[in-house]
Structure 1
Amino acid sequence: MAGAKRVAARQDAWICFADECGQTLRAHKATTWAPKGVTPIVKVTAKGTVRVSVAGLCCYRPGHRSRLIYRTLLYRGRKGEPKGFREPDLIRLLDAAHQQLQAPIVLVWDRLSLHRTPAIQAAIAARPWLRVYLLPAYAPELNPAEKVWSTMKGSLANLAVRTANDLAAAVKNRLNRMQYRAGLIDAFFTGTGLSPPAPARP
């Protein structure tokens, strides 16, 4: 991580932490209010293989508002549909982030096999504005994006959505709200215990 921060400062780049997660129709359980002696019951549709996959970047740069950039992929269980993100999807997300941020990117993500395929390595090598660093093995606590997913799933607790479109809309709604709360994105970074990115050298 120290090397990533030094490179980011030298290039006046954004440090972007990336990760992926998924959400199904099975509702996340949480405590709720109910009349005394009455057990609350929430009816949900948890059948089928509907899944919303999300790939996101928590982006930080001294002197700039922190950003959350994400893409979703809806899997309805139909034949031939991709069940999750593939190399072209991740590459398009990184290109979109670069276009939006208008600066070099130092990417930090975990050691998922998808992140180390030949196609991903070739894409990284072809993009001079992109440098990549891997997190230590089994260290999700060091990735602010993990806290985005935790917050998103917590806000979906006890939500009884019944269709794929409703699920996708609910996921996007929660993530869109977070995009406007730069202080919350900062807090996700603070929660990792990592020292903040250093400002660019004059």
Structure 2
Amino acid sequence: MSTTDTSLTATHPTTANQWVLASNNKGKLAEFKRLFAEANLDVMIVPQGQLDIDDAIEDGLSFVENAIIKARHASRISGLPAIADDSGLCVPILGNAPGIYSARYAGEHGNDSKNNAKLIADLQPIRAAEPDTPIKGLFVCVLAMVRHADDPLPIIAQGLWHGEILDTLHGDGGFGYDPLFWLPELQASAASLSAADKNSISHRGQAIQQLLAQLAL
């Protein structure tokens, strides 16, 4: 296997020898590459950017809807089966914001620094009112896999990762809201975990394992 693809060997059949990964997010792509490298699929995962596929317009009202929109978009343009991820951070005390708008919470898509700063600012009044109460949060990942663009029965997998929200950045790994996502049982932020440790427990890792279990049926 080359160091530039994610070709994987498998024992069970698949719908094609290539699938498109409907994402251009570098952080997500790196995590998917590591996670799929450990899987048992007879398939090559091709990031949509390599096929000159732009991001879909995510106008769904849920993680599930947006994942399906992105998967159908990539499949329609490529003519291949496609997998899409829609994920984000939900903070119940903020009405589950940023939620599906996590990547553009501060208005500019994919600006982690501004998104983290906005989340810290939005939580300040709540922390001031209850300084000793941890603020709960959870990462959500929904994966949708379509065999073709008009697939009437997409495969859906979901992962949830519970933690707490910090008021300052902690750790220099990961991406997105990882530096603010605290895991009390590990006494570490998501951004301070190794890639292997994060993948073993993260929302994305859980969703991929659930997807693989459904594909093996």
Query: Which has more radius of gyration?
Result: 1
